[in-house]
Amino acid sequence: MSKKNNLLKGLMVMLLSLSTSVNVFACTGVVVGKDATEDGSIIIGRTEDIGAAYNKNFVVVPAATYKKGEMFEDLNGFKIEQPTKAYKYTMLPDVAEHEDGIYAAAGINEQGVAMTATVSAYLNEAIQKVDPLVESGLREAAIPSVVLPRIKTAKEGVQVLGEIVEKHGSAEGNIILFADQNEAWYMEILSGHQWAAVKVPDDMYAVIPNAFMLGYIDLNDQENVMASKDIINMPAKNGLLKNHEGKFHLALTYGETMTEGNRLRAWGGQHFFSPSQNIALDTPVFDLFMKADDKISVDEVMDLQRYRYEGTANDVNLPENKGKRAIGTENQAECHIIQMKEEYPKEVGGLMWMAMGNAEHSVYLPTFGGITDTHEAYKVPGVNYNPLSAYWTFRGLSTLAELDRVNYGQGVRSYWKQYELELIKAQEEVDKKVVELAKKDTKAAAMYMTETGIATAEDAIGKANEIHSQLYTFIAKHGGRAIKNPFVPVVE
């Protein structure tokens, strides 16, 4: 490597270290029912807010056959027997060097089921005393890797995960989203062994901070509600059941009091999609599911995951709001949005839009669940800056852009936004071709999906490197002097 490249690498490491904070399990989830979206797709998504310099990969886990007695094991001692036949699935794992388990984050399996796991949430001390978390129980780090290989529908995902929690216990409070062609399910793991889930209303959406938000559930409604058998009895017999508006309320019963950071994101998400409802930041209890003012498009969900409350009194770009928790935070390691479309055969699965690094100055790229491989840049290991890595390519550009969101970042954001809109428009024709191929030749469809995903990544990575080079030069030339005209990328 040349001295120039060594200097660049050293500077990038320094800049990234300045933006890095202590890793925390803090994510924001989103789910939108099919009647609430612009194109009729079901949407689930999440921002993985684990660290500002936290390398993630994107890979395909092939189908596998296991002998009786072969086990899946997690670092905390959790063990479960592998299924005889494990389905292929995609995932967004930690690199091995993080040394804390797989953390697959999200994926789509060969049966056309998608999940994102998890939004961490926290139970209160009273519940912890009567049904404590299990140290060797199921962790977020293992959930997708245990569940996705086993399930054929979103509802089955809830059932399988619920049974595991009841039998083995949970090491954490967690919120999980499942989706297939027909429906989406929202699930909360509320204590060591208690859980509840509801089918997402087709005409509603939810934005989920790191807090339980399920309220009243009708346990007799077996079509739309699933739960552990003692979900109500356990807190009731211990005098812990809490009510809201005359009915028991799960989040108030099981969860911690909502923090300011969680309150900001719950309010922010509802303000973003439902501004006419004038939801107050100090609302005593936020509803989980809401109706949007207008049909929600996938690019609006991308904008939600970048949202820093711009144009409101809570705009975190304003000096007086520095330190407030935004949805669009620098601590995003990756962000994903999964669309499940009715016309997709199970071999196609769903469409994942993924942004490596933080979404604000990164770009969402589409890949189908039916792929057999990913771009090599998504597989680069290590925890330090590496220009060959897709994560570091996009995160490195973001780091420069965020040194000055107006003069550096605005041009980067505008460029990627236009790029995304063009991808979304082009996706209509790609969808048609994939669906047609899948009906005739599943292997040809898989090859086309794989090649298209890799080609899209190749193009975007090349453009990110070019923008990075241009912005780096722009910053160096100005050398701290006043900037008359903000940076604007020029990339063909």
Q: Which residues are catalytic?
A: 27
- Please state, in angstroms and rounded to a whole number, the distance separating the CA atoms of residues 452 and 450: 5
**What value, to the nearest 5°, has the Cα angle with vertex 146 and ends 145 and 149?**
80
Return the structure tokens found at 208: 């989920």
Do 101 and 122 contact (CB within 8 A), yes or no? no
- Beta carbons within 10 angstroms of residue 276's beta carbon: 9
Torsion of CA 264, 269, 272, 273, to 10 degrees: -150
Do 135 and 171 contact (CB within 8 A), yes or no? yes
Query: Does residue 259 have a cis peptide bond before it, meaning omega lies within 30 degrees of 0?
Result: no
Do 88 and 61 contact (CB within 8 A), yes or no? yes
**Which of these, 97, 108, 101, 117, lies nearest to 48 by C-alpha position?**
117
- Please state, in angstroms and rounded to a whole number, the distance separating the CA atoms of residues 146 and 142: 6
- Please state, in angstroms and rounded to a whole number, the distance separating the CA atoms of residues 12 and 404: 16
Task: Identify the helix (H) or strand (E) that includes residue 233.
Answer: helix 233-237
**In sequence order, which residues have a C-beta less than 8 Å from that of residue 286 and are 6 or more positions away?**
213, 258, 263, 266, 267, 270, 279
The span from the first CA to the last CA of the chain, in angstroms, equals 28
- Beta carbons within 10 angstroms of residue 129's beta carbon: 10
Give strand pairing partners of 91: 59
Task: Determine the 3-state secondary structure of 271 from DSSP.
Answer: helix
- Please state, in angstroms and rounded to a whole number, the distance separating the CA atoms of residues 79 and 453: 34
